[in-house]
Every structure is written in C-alpha cells, then in structure tokens.
Chain A
C-alpha cells in the first residue's frame, strides 16, 4: 500500500517558472490538504479539498492553485514561482466526514527551491 505519493521529491526552479507538485493517494480518503513547512514555523495550510470537485483556501493560498478532479489526485500549481515559495511542501489526506480534520496521513514531501 503506497498511501500518499508526492512528486517530485526535490526540485530547483527559476523564479517566474510554472510548477506543479503532484499528489496521489490510494486510500480513498475524502479530504486532502497541501501544507508548506518552513524552519521555525508550524505547518501552514495552503489549500484543502473536503471532497472531489470542491476546494478551499487555507492560511497562505496566494500564488498557489489546486484542483480536485477525482478522489485520488490533488495537484498544487505555482503559476509563477517566487523565492519566498522556497519550502518543503507536504500533501496529506484524511478520512473524515465529521467536519474536523481527523488523523492526517502525509506524503514524503517535496522540497522546492526557487532561485
């Protein structure tokens, strides 16, 4: 069982370029999340999706977009990367139907460096 798969694992990107981080889960979880993690700060929510076809903005959504065409996939796109988007990005999912986050299952992370 793979759980959550993220790609790429690591990427160096020139500022201004477009980048999509991929996330796929095989647990049939309804909720999916994208977080960024920076040194000294807690995990910050970028976007989330409660169920296929719906998405919502988290704490730091600017400069990012997501889509949820089906249950399994939840890609994160940086339309025009900037150096402040240098971070480690984690995709997560949960099997929660009660309105709370539930236990989160995380992917291994994508380390992005924007120069």
Chain B
C-alpha cells in the first residue's frame, strides 16, 4: 500500500528551529510537496522536492532523500504565525497526491 508518516504534533519556541520529518512508501515517485495549513483555512504550497538534497526558501528549507523515502521541513527563526499544520504529500505520478495526516506545530513564546 501507499503510506506517508509524519508526527502528529510538535511544540517549539519562538525564535528557535524545528524540523518536521516525513517518511513515505509509494508506488512511484514524481516529487514531494510540503503545504502549510492554518486552522480553519485551506492548505497553501510551501515547497517541492524531486531531486535529492536541500531546497531553501527564506526561513523554510526542505530536504529529500529518495533512497530512504524521507523528507524534512526545516523552519528557522520561528514566529508565532508559523503555528499551523504542515502537510507532507507525494506525487506517485498519476495526477494524484498521497497525503500525510499532517503535523500540528505549536509555537510557544
């Protein structure tokens, strides 16, 4: 079967760094996405990885290892507005995405 695992909830302190992990097992691989979803709102795109390595975009970075079926999202200089759920999703290559259940990130002052 196809499966994506990520922690249910994480807590971090304002100004700190947090790493959210995602492991996946899918029938194919055509890229991995990270989305941010604030409570009561729609998901919004954060990053896309299709090759191994680190993609940096401001305070957010995303890493991919295809051989290990593993990705992480790194958030630096955490701000209160970063409190949200972070969704990991994999494209197996058929116009569909397989989604993880999401990681709820709680930022404390």
Contacts and interface: CB of A to CB of B under 8 A. Distances in A.
Interface residues of B, number: 24
Interface in B1-44: 4, 30-31, 33, 35, 41-44
- Please report whether the interface of chain B is mostly helix, strand, loop or mixed according to DSSP: loop
A58 B98 CA distance: 10
A58 B96 CA distance: 8
9 contacts: A43-B43, A43-B99, A48-B96, A99-B94, A103-B33, A103-B45, A104-B45, A104-B97, A105-B45
Contacts, number: 61
Interface in B64-105: 87, 89, 91, 93-102
A99 B4 contact: no
Contacts of B33: 101, 103-104
Interface of B: 4, 30-31, 33, 35, 41-45, 48, 87, 89, 91, 93-102
B42 A44 contact: no
Contacts of A40: 101
- Find the residue from A42, A58, A100 having the highest chain B CB count within 10 A: A100
Contacts of B89: 42-43, 101
Contact of B42 (A45, A90, A101): A90
Contacts of A105: 45
Nearest to A3: B42
A41 B95 contact: no
A90 B93 CA distance: 21
Nearest to B102: A42
A108 B41 contact: yes
Contact of B101 (A42, A90, A99): A42
A99 to B, nearest CB: 6
A100 B43 contact: no
A43 B89 CA distance: 9
Interface string A42-72: 1111001010000010100000000000000
Contacts of B45: 103-105
Given A42-B4, A45-B96, A108-B42, A100 B101 contact: no
